[in-house]
Structure 1
Amino acid sequence: MLFMIIERFRNKDPKPIGERFKRQGRMMPEGVVYHASWIDPAAARCFQIMEADSVEPLEQWASRWADLADFEIVPVLTSQDYWAAQETGKNRSG
């Protein structure tokens, strides 16, 4: 399952995150796969795509960084998967 992680840096300051990352890496629990990330031009937020079987390991991961950022974890589908599900009658909205 794919998840979009929206990470909001405390005080809009990414430096403490970067420093910890350099020292300790991503600190991801087993079963979490990192795909890619982007930082907004103002350096206030980071958007990450990660994969896990459920949200729980991502919540565990976020708790390791919670002193430096706030996290929103959103389950997402690729557009291709979404439209394929619509064709088969799964995941219909409305």
Structure 2
Amino acid sequence: MKKYMVVENFKPGLMEENYEVYNAKGRQFPDGLYYLNSWVNTEKNICFQLMESNDESLFYVWFKKWEQFVDFELYPID
């Protein structure tokens, strides 16, 4: 399984609304995309998530569900 770092930059003023949806619906990952750990810096409105998958395209399916709240960056970890 390949590991990835996902960097989430919350759009201005939308961090709280993002967490309302998260609390109601969860992370909404497609099958085959796995969360390992995360770290949030509320001062900078940014979240780092360590994740893994055998299919990188699943990240883009997941990103679509949250794009109204977050700008994503995806980094494969070797």
Q: What is the TM-score normalised by the length of structure 2?
A: 0.91
1:25 matched to which residue of 2? 26
Identity of aligned residues (%): 29
Q: Distance in 1 between matches of 2:49 and 2:7?
A: 7
Looking at CA atoms only, which structure, 1 or 2, has the larger radius of gyration?
1
Q: Deviations over 1:47-78 (max 9, x none)?
A: 0011111210011111100010000011013x
Structure 2: tracts of 5 or more residues without a match: none
2:11 matched to which residue of 1? 10
| More helix per residue | 1
Structure 1: tracts of 5 or more residues without a match: 78-94
Q: What is the TM-score normalised by the length of structure 1?
A: 0.76
- Give structure 1 regions of 4+ aligned residues with deviation exceeding 3 angstroms: none
Structure 1 residues 43 and 14: alpha-carbon distance in aligned structure 2, compared to 1, 3 A threshold: farther
Q: Per chain length, whose mean CA-contact separation is higher, i.e. which structure has more relative contact order (CA < 8 Å, sep 6+)?
A: 2
Q: Distance in 2 between matches of 1:15 and 1:71?
A: 17
